[in-house]
Amino acid sequence: MISNHLVFMIASGDVFGKDQPVSLSLLGSERSRTALEGVAMELEDSLCPLLREVRLGIDPRKVFRDADWALLIGAKPRGPGMERRDLLDLNGQIYKEQGQALNEVASRNCKMLVVGNPCNTNALIGLENAPDLPRRNWHALTRLDENRAKCQLALKAGKFYTSVTNMCIWGNHSTTQVPDFVNAKIEGVPAREYIHDDKWLKEEFTPTVANRGGVLIKKWGRSSAASTAVSIADHIRSLTQPTKEGDCFSTAVITDGNPYGLAEGLVYSMPARSKGDGDYEIIPGFHMNDWLIEKCKASEDELLKERDCVGHLLPNATVAQCMITEDTMLPGEN
Ligand SMILES: NC(=O)c1ccc[n+]([C@@H]2O[C@H](COP(=O)([O-])OP(=O)(O)OC[C@H]3O[C@@H](n4cnc5c(N)ncnc54)[C@H](O)[C@@H]3O)[C@@H](O)[C@H]2O)c1
């Protein structure tokens, strides 16, 4: 669903630019092989001038050859009665294989963006299984959460979306995520001063952002695909275009050497900026008040538990013991 929106955005130049030819290699599974052929037919019939090549396959070692960007969206949905720990294992297996394949055949500076859930831990599994690729090049998508947070603040303030800046999502792409209204700004003014309603920010804004996907499913009977594809495009443009002065974008990346004292070896969403060269730096100096520190710690603890659960998929893990009892998957996001 997500990929089917995204490939047409890429082919039409909305993602990598109107003067950037693209070659798409589409990876499917045994089950989706013929569906993939259908997508390719639609791409052909769209006559996109920038689209120079479409390759299809189900072997990641062939499909990922020389990839500059790997957008890892494919995942299995949660089946009836399946616990979160089962999903961590099921989809973790996919990302172990894809990490190993990328390690063998992708471009040495390939950028990986993991969307399939649970995306933070899937990205960790991918990067730990790709020792020859830069760890910092692995991202998990929290941009949809950022976009949802910007939308809610703009609606509350009665301003247009673009007036909201410095909007960071911290942590895991789950209900423990932390939409940071402390550092966000509206028309350059701290959002808390602008909105002047801490009760709303803590008790309504935060859960509204985290539960937005579930509400959408109830209304429409399917999960967010178009807005997710848009947020993937936003994420890529944030890395390929310079970040505006005083602004940031959210991305879940490896915490090694992070300036916020977070445990190392996790894929955790933090505020970043880029010169537009595909790379990024974590922005230091965000103000962390007690509320943020407590929330960020809860998301960190959750990611530590997830890492323990997938120890059997991490080549250098010392722990492989699953202590997850709570279900913090975003509602409806498998
Ligand atoms: N991070 C986010 O913000 C975010 C937001 C929305 C959805 N998601 C997640 O994105 C994923 C995809 O969502 P969707 O709505 O497109 O789901 P979907 O079920 O429509 O598509 C998933 C596709 O993955 C394919 N697939 C399964 N195993 C594969 C494998 N080993 N290799 C390649 N392809 C494989 C399936 O055949 C299917 O076509 C889900 O895990 C969903 O939870 C993440």
For residue 229, how many C-alpha atoms fall within 13 Å in the half-sphere facing its CB? 15
Residue 283, CA distances (Å) to 45, 82, 183, 279 in order: 43, 38, 12, 13
Pocket of ligand 1, beta carbon within 6 A: 1-3, 27-29, 31-32, 73-77, 94, 115-117, 119, 141, 144, 173, 223-225, 228, 333-334
- Among 34, 72, 334, residue to substitute to test ligand 1 (most atoms within 8 Å of Cβ): 334
Residue 277 CA to chain centroid, in angstroms? 19
Residue 319 CA to chain centroid, in angstroms? 25
- Among 223, 267, 330, residue to substitute to test ligand 1 (most atoms within 8 Å of Cβ): 223
2-140 and 143-302, same CATH topology: no
Question: Where residue 76 falls among pLDDT bands split at 50, 70, 90?
Answer: confident
Closest ligand 1 atom to the C-alpha of 334? 43
Between 177 and 333, residue with greater pLDDT: 177
Closest ligand 1 atom to the C-alpha of 224? 6
Closest ligand 1 atom to the C-alpha of 330? 43
pLDDT for residue 334: 45
Active site residue 173: yes
Burial category of 287 from C-beta neighbours within 10 Å (exposed 0-12, middle 13-18, buried 19 and up): exposed
Non-local CB neighbours of 252 within 8 Å, separated by 6+ positions:
119, 120, 123, 139, 140, 141, 142, 172, 173, 267, 268, 269, 270
Taking only the tens place, the pLDDT of each residue in 223-276 is 889 999 999 999 999 999 999 999 999 999 999 999 999 999 999 999 999 999
Question: Where residue 193 falls among pLDDT bands split at 50, 70, 90?
Answer: very high
Report the share of the chain in percent with pLDDT over 90. Answer: 85
> How far is the C-alpha of 39 from the C-alpha of 16, rounded, in Å?
20
Non-local CB neighbours of 121 within 8 Å, separated by 6+ positions:
88, 92, 267, 303, 306, 307, 309, 310
Report the share of the chain in percent with pLDDT over 70. Answer: 96
Question: Where residue 36 falls among pLDDT bands split at 50, 70, 90?
Answer: very high
Q: Given a cut of 80, is residue 204 above it in pLDDT?
A: yes
Q: Given a cut of 50, is residue 87 above it in pLDDT?
A: yes
Instruction: Give residue for tokens 């935060």.
Output: 206
Domain 143-302 in CATH 3.90.110.10? The answer is: yes
The average confidence (pLDDT) of the chain is 94
Q: What pTM was estimated for this model as a whole? A: 0.96
Residues 329, 118 contacting (CB under 8 angstroms):
yes
> How far is the C-alpha of 191 from the C-alpha of 195, rounded, in Å?
6
CA of 159 to the centre of ligand 1 (A): 34
Architecture of domain 2-140: 3-Layer(aba) Sandwich (3.40)
- Among 5, 37, 39, 76, residue to substitute to test ligand 1 (most atoms within 8 Å of Cβ): 76
CA of 301 to the centre of ligand 1 (A): 26
> How far is the C-alpha of 194 from the C-alpha of 201, rounded, in Å?
11
Candidates 143, 156, 211, 145; CA nearest to 186 is 156
SS3 168: strand
SS3 content of the chain, % helix, strand, coil (to 5): 45, 15, 40
ipTM over 0.85: yes
Give the mean model confidence (pLDDT) for residues 289-312.
96
Compute the residue count for the chain.
334
CA of 324 to the centre of ligand 1 (A): 23
Question: Where residue 218 falls among pLDDT bands split at 50, 70, 90?
Answer: confident
Supply the residue whose CA is at minimum distance from atom 22 of ligand 1: 74
pLDDT for residue 326: 66
Residue ranges per structural domain of the chain: 2-140, 143-302
Lowest average pLDDT, out of 17-31, 44-58, 118-132, 320-334, goes to 320-334
Write the DSSP assignment of 169-193 as a string of letters.
EEB-SSTT-EEETTT-EETTEEHHH
Residues 130, 103 contacting (CB under 8 angstroms):
yes
